[in-house]
Structure 1
Amino acid sequence: MAIYSISGYGSMIADKGRMDAYVKALRQAVKPASVVLDIGTGTGIFALLACQFGAKKVYAIEPSDTIQVAREIAYVNGYADRIQLIQQLSNQVKLPELADVIISDIRGVLPLFQQHIPSIVDARKRLLAPGGIMIPQRDTLWAAVVEVPHLYNRIVSAWDDSEYGFDMKAARQIVTNIWSKGWVAPAQLLTTPQSWATLDYTTIESPDISAEINWDVAKSGTAHGLSVWFDATLAEGISFSNAPGMPELIYSIAFFPWTEAVLLRVGDKVSVTLQANLVGDDYIWRWNTCILNQENPTEIKANFKQSTFFGMPLSPAQLRKTAANYVPTLNEDGEIDRLIVEFMSSGMALGDIANRVKEKFPSRFRNSPEALTRVGDLSKKYSK
């Protein structure tokens, strides 16, 4: 679950391209009798707008403590009676009525982000009235091969040019398997952008995406990887895009670096299999690239197999702990958490639990308030 700062939510509200589109879509969708569900309400801007446009009831869901700020804002603006704020994940919520409109913006740089798609699928199936409206309706993902030395050097220069004379290639292998973000100008595209996936939120079922993209290089240059962005359709005729050349939005553009920079000529053929699989709360991305020489189509200029899995440095000792046949024993932190959860299950008050934990682990907690902080963190995570 992404947790944003209040200033982060402020940046989202200040993004005119994003906000103007959402305002138009809400104004078009909300009717005087509408019930609206706002997933990931943050400080509550969409919930407030829904009320302003005449919604009779808004259910605003936000799992983080930012919800308290949303509650205060709803009150001072006179909408506390129409906005019901719910501090939970949307897939844990049961509503007393179905929503006529569901609005959300729980994307990251790309729509394939954490539990975004599973949350939307669940809400559509359980919480949307028949014939109800989803905002956004769909996102279309695009990709192009790019020449972006400013982005690439930011990633690899520390490992390529060690002024101390050491070979740092082991770190380079990791950082070139991690995607980042950065704006790209249209002149830096070496291929024509290709649409490789459409996420239709009215029908989508799976959070996983895989597609093969093929390009004939349109402009010679030194290619450093792929830029990936999306066009958002909030309602028919209402959209925005973070494509190169468009006004900059809060989302930026994703950059998937190649293992090495490659000199491309017009007519070279680039084939990329781009795949995203949701594992737990995060996506594992794969981008496998094959480049063929236009002068000799059987000559492979480059062949990269990359994945964010390779961007996670894991020691053999840590990998061993994830094996199916590994039999774990609790370390001291595990013993502390186990004891706290046992006391919570027995119905003991948090202050009493903190005192007991401090007595059991005197070297870990200098005083009861310190132990209470640890107990409180687990209470926020596990208690109803």
Structure 2
Amino acid sequence: MQDSFDNDDGSDWDEAEEMEGESTVVLCLFCTLTFPTPEQVFQHCTSEHKFNISVLSSQLKLDCFSYIKLINYIREHKCHPKDVECIASNVPWQDEKYLKPFLEDDLLLTYDIEGTDGCGDIASSEVTISQAEYCSLQSRLLGAEEAIENMRKTAAMLLQDGPTSSNSFPTVGSLRVEEDESYFESYAHFGIHHEMLTDTPRTEAYRHAMKMNQESIGGKIVLDVGCGTGILSMFAAECGAKEVIGVDQSEIAYSAMDIVRENKLEKQISILKGRLEDVDLKHDEVDVIVSEWMGYFLLFEGMMDTVLYARDKYLKPGGLILPDTCNMFLVALHDKGLHSKFVKCWDTMWGFKMNCMKQEVVKEAQLTIVPAEGICSKPVLIKTLDLNTCKPEDADFSAEFDLEITDSATEITALAGYFDCHFSLPSPVVLSTSPHAKPTHWQQTVFLFETPIAVMPGGVVHGCIDCRRDPRRRRELSVTISVNGHRYPSYHLR
């Protein structure tokens, strides 16, 4: 990128050009929005988060080093704006470790905080210059703005990648293979496939959906996204599919090839080893896309991105996606046993107090089977995803909810999330991960509270849930929950 510019004179302007070409987005301190410049980030922080860096800099007398520590501290600890603004002295980011960038290539660290000193005085005073000087400055400013805008457009074009390039949302498909290798390696071992294949509700739902709707599969070209051992490909072949193409980047694809040959289905099924974004299907379109892409809390792993890529590139108009609709739900829990197992147990361990561990434990969502008797509310729908029309960015969402508490509950110890997947066919099928349904390997995703929340029996608990991809690890999730006006620290799914 640097070779495309003239850098012979080593000027500051050329250094700015380098930086402009290398990175075009700056992540907000308090949400997942990105902006072209640090200045725009701080404008957004002021208007949307009520966080004014200039005021804070003046109050704390920040120099360039303390400013860098502040930014890295906020990013590492995912601070709320009010948590930072209320600090008057004894700042918690004194440690030299906060000089190390928390985010790689974080342009917010290049912001000239010391250059903001006294800006208010300059803005409020008058400066007299000649008309000629004014015109010259105005011309130079317009020229500089135009040059920067042209560089941004050039950088954007160079960064475009594949058919989703018009979409700035960072999908998992834009990850380099080496960045994503650990994810695919996790599916290379037989153990995870044994767990999924022996998950009867999961596997049976796919088999029933195809077998009871053979007219939707027979004679069709079927694409199996993330085929694993090829079980869904073989179900489709069994139901009369004309041709089935299974794609998987994991090493398990080689086992799938052997399994297909072992079952004498190689004339119907072909297995391709590689990422869907990289392989050649040798077909311009397919009639059906089938995929078991769902992760914990539905969206963990981000595999929905790949299914939507397949839809946009290969699915013919009117084609089928199986499953096609997913609903996400929350319920309240009054389960002292579950709370004691994960949280209260830290009151004492072998006679020693370990209460500080509770704060760390509740930052991570727990995956467990929730006993139906521990549920103390009706379920509430928080998100619907129609795979025929949704976009990758729909995986980031916020939703308000009202939980109707049962007459017997006086406190809630956690919220639990689960999902249902619908195969909207002539003979419809539903795959449910509800606590009231037969258990699956997805279990339920439990968001524990460090201290149980008192509730009125028969009352209503109002809350909000915000689900976002981790900006640095796109297959992971960060979930923030507020209940009755109190915002809890973010939960992570890793």
Superposed CA offset, 1:318-360 (max 9, x none): xxxxxxxxxxxxxxxxxxxxxxxxxxxxxxxxxxxxxxxxxxx
Partner residue in 1 for 2:443: 252
Higher percent of residues as strand: 1
Q: Are 2:451 and 1:263 aligned? A: no
Secondary structure, counterpart of 1:92 in structure 2 = coil
Superposed CA offset, 1:220-265 (max 9, x none): 2431110111111023421121212211122211111113122322
Q: Are 2:305 and 1:305 aligned? A: no
Q: Distance in 1 between matches of 2:411 and 2:461?
A: 13
Q: Distance in 1 between matches of 2:225 and 2:264?
A: 21
Displacement after TM superposition at 1:63 (Å): 1.1
Partner residue in 2 for 1:74: 260
Q: Are 2:300 and 1:90 aligned? A: no
Q: Are 2:217 and 1:21 aligned? A: no
Displacement after TM superposition at 1:305 (Å): 1.7
Superposed CA offset, 1:79-103 (max 9, x none): 1232221112223233221111100
Q: Which of these residues, 276, 281, 299, is aligned with residue 474 of structure 2?
A: 281
Q: Are 2:420 and 1:225 aligned? A: no
Give the alignment's Cα RMSD to 1 decimal.
2.1
Displacement after TM superposition at 1:57 (Å): 1.5
CA contact (8 A) 2:220 2:287 kept: yes
Higher relative contact order (CA 8 A, sep 6+): 1
Q: Which of these residues, 386, 399, 407, is aligned with residue 211 of structure 1?
A: 399
Q: Distance in 1 between matches of 2:277 and 2:449?
A: 37
Partner residue in 2 for 1:317: none
- The share of aligned pairs that are identical, in percent, is 22
Partner residue in 2 for 1:369: none
Larger Rg: 2
Deviates more, 1:241-250 or 1:122-131: 241-250
Q: Are 2:420 and 1:234 aligned? A: no
Secondary structure, counterpart of 1:47 in structure 2 = helix
Q: Distance in 1 between matches of 2:459 and 2:294?
A: 34
CA contact (8 A) 2:447 2:491 kept: no
Displacement after TM superposition at 1:158 (Å): 4.5
Q: Which of these residues, 162, 168, 175, is aligned with residue 361 of structure 2?
A: 175
Q: Are 2:381 and 1:195 aligned? A: yes
Partner residue in 2 for 1:100: 287
Secondary structure, counterpart of 1:7 in structure 2 = helix
Secondary structure, counterpart of 2:264 in structure 1 = coil
Secondary structure, counterpart of 2:349 in structure 1 = coil
Structure 1-normalised TM-score? 0.73
Q: Distance in 2 between matches of 1:85 and 1:67?
A: 7
Partner residue in 2 for 1:40: 226
Displacement after TM superposition at 1:267 (Å): 4.1
Structure 1's unaligned 5+ residue stretches are 292-299, 313-384
Displacement after TM superposition at 1:45 (Å): 0.5
Secondary structure, counterpart of 1:151 in structure 2 = helix
Q: Distance in 2 between matches of 1:118 and 1:234?
A: 19
Secondary structure, counterpart of 1:91 in structure 2 = coil
CA contact (8 A) 2:343 2:450 kept: no
Displacement after TM superposition at 1:154 (Å): 2.4
- Amino acid in structure 2 at the alignment position of 1:22: Y
Q: Which of these residues, 97, 122, 130, is aligned with residue 317 of structure 2?
A: 130
Deviates more, 1:251-260 or 1:145-154: 145-154
- Amino acid in structure 1 at the alignment position of 2:483: C
Secondary structure, counterpart of 1:84 in structure 2 = strand
Cα 1:31–1:261 change in 2 (3 A) is closer
Superposed CA offset, 1:303-326 (max 9, x none): 2422136x99xxxxxxxxxxxxxx
Q: Distance in 1 between matches of 2:344 and 2:255?
A: 42
Q: Which of these residues, 110, 126, 131, is aligned with residue 297 of structure 2?
A: 110
- Pairs aligned (count): 300
Q: Distance in 1 between matches of 2:208 and 2:345?
A: 46
Q: Are 2:463 and 1:272 aligned? A: yes
Secondary structure, counterpart of 1:171 in structure 2 = helix
Displacement after TM superposition at 1:164 (Å): 4.2
CA contact (8 A) 1:223 1:261 kept: yes
Superposed CA offset, 1:287-318 (max 9, x none): 32233xxxxxxxx7xx2422136x99xxxxxx
Runs of 4+ in 1 over 6 A off after TM superposition: none
Q: Distance in 2 between matches of 1:113 and 1:93?
A: 24
Deviates more, 1:136-145 or 1:20-29: 20-29
Secondary structure, counterpart of 2:479 in structure 1 = strand
Structure 2-normalised TM-score? 0.57
Q: Are 2:353 and 1:139 aligned? A: no
Superposed CA offset, 1:31-79 (max 9, x none): 4431111011111101111111111211101111111111111001111
Partner residue in 1 for 2:346: 159
Deviates more, 1:108-117 or 1:41-50: 108-117
CA contact (8 A) 1:95 1:127 kept: no
